[in-house]
Amino acid sequence: MNAVLMFAAISAIGGLVLGFYCVPWRVIVIPNLIIAIVSAIVSLDQNFSFLAGFAFVFGCLSLNQIAYVIGAAIIVFSEDPKASLTGDQADDYPGESYQSHNAKGLCKDAPLARRADHKSGYH
């Protein structure tokens, strides 16, 4: 029974860590497959019936997903905009921060490089 509780805790902690890093939903398939396989093996090792084993697998996957949502919500709704991995505040312009770049995508603070002007066309 200790192995069951320990694996349930590991599933929840793993989901929380994935949520803190705001891993996309399609990437979560891999850890969920691992959790499903390992929890099925643990339930067989503990001699669970089919229904109890199914409930254990479902419970571990549910704990993982709930912890993921909690971790992602903590990061997304935190007051510090730099807490997210992108560090970009929400605006109408995707990508880099619109406020610090001009229309050509150059930083306003960076000096513009001078072009080498040739006085006459041919040498």
Q: What is the pLDDT of residues 45-73, one digit of tens each?
A: 989 999 999 999 999 999 999 999 999 88
Is 106 inside any structural domain?
no
Is 105 inside any structural domain?
no
Decide which of 96 and 35 is more confident: 35
Average pLDDT estimate for 90-100: 56
56 lies in which domain range?
Answer: 2-79
Is 119 inside any structural domain?
no
**Given a cut of 50, is residue 37 above it in pLDDT?**
yes
The confidence score (pLDDT) of residue 67 equals 94
The confidence score (pLDDT) of residue 13 equals 93
Task: Please give the model's pTM, rounded to 2 decimal places.
Answer: 0.62
31-38 CB contacts, 8 Å cutoff, 24+ apart: 31/64, 32/61, 32/64, 32/65, 35/11, 35/60, 35/61, 35/64, 36/60, 36/61, 38/7
Q: Which residues touch 29 (CB under 8 Å, ≥6 apart)? A: none
Is 112 inside any structural domain?
no
Average pLDDT estimate for 67-85: 76
The confidence score (pLDDT) of residue 4 equals 84
**Given a cut of 60, is residue 35 above it in pLDDT?**
yes
For the chain, the average pLDDT equals 76
What is the domain count for the chain? Answer: 1
Tokens of 33: 């497959």
Read off the DSSP letter of residue 113. Answer: P
